[in-house]
Chains A and B, each alone.
Chain A
Amino acid sequence: QVQLVESGGGLVKPGGSLRLSCAASGFTFSDYFMTWIRQAPGKGLEWVSYISHSSTYTNYADSVKGRFAISRDNAKNSLYLQMNCLRAEDTGVYYCARAYHSDSSEAGYWGQGTLVTVSS
Chain B
Amino acid sequence: EIVLTQSPGTLSLSPGERATLSCRASQSVYSNYLAWYQQKPGQAPRLLIYGASSRATGIPAKFSGSGSGTDFTLTISRLESEDFAVYYCQQYGSPPLTFGGGTKVEIK
Contact = CB atoms under 8 A, between A and B. Distances in A.
B44 A45 contact: no
A100 B102 contact: no
A106 B88 contact: no
Given A108-B47, A108-B50, A110-B45, A44 B99 contact: yes
Nearest to B43: A112
A107 interface: yes
Contacts of B101: 44
B31 to A, nearest CB: 9
Contacts, number: 61
Interface string A59-97: 111100000000000000000000000000000000100
B45 A47 contact: no
A112 B44 contact: yes
Given A44-B88, A44-B102, A110 B44 contact: yes
A106 B47 contact: yes
A101 B39 CA distance: 21
A29 interface: no
A105 interface: yes
B99 A47 contact: yes
B46 interface: yes
Interface string A103-120: 011111111110000000
A106 B99 contact: no
A109 B86 CA distance: 17
A47 B98 contact: yes
A100 B46 CA distance: 11
A108 B90 CA distance: 12
A100 B47 contact: yes
Pick the 3 closest A-B CB pairs, nearest first: A59-B95, A110-B44, A47-B97
Interface of A: 35, 44-47, 50, 59-62, 95, 100-101, 104-113
Interface of B: 1, 33, 35, 37, 39, 44-47, 50, 56, 86, 88, 90, 92, 95-102
Given A50-B95, A108-B47, 6 more contacts: A35-B97, A44-B99, A44-B100, A45-B90, A59-B97, A106-B50
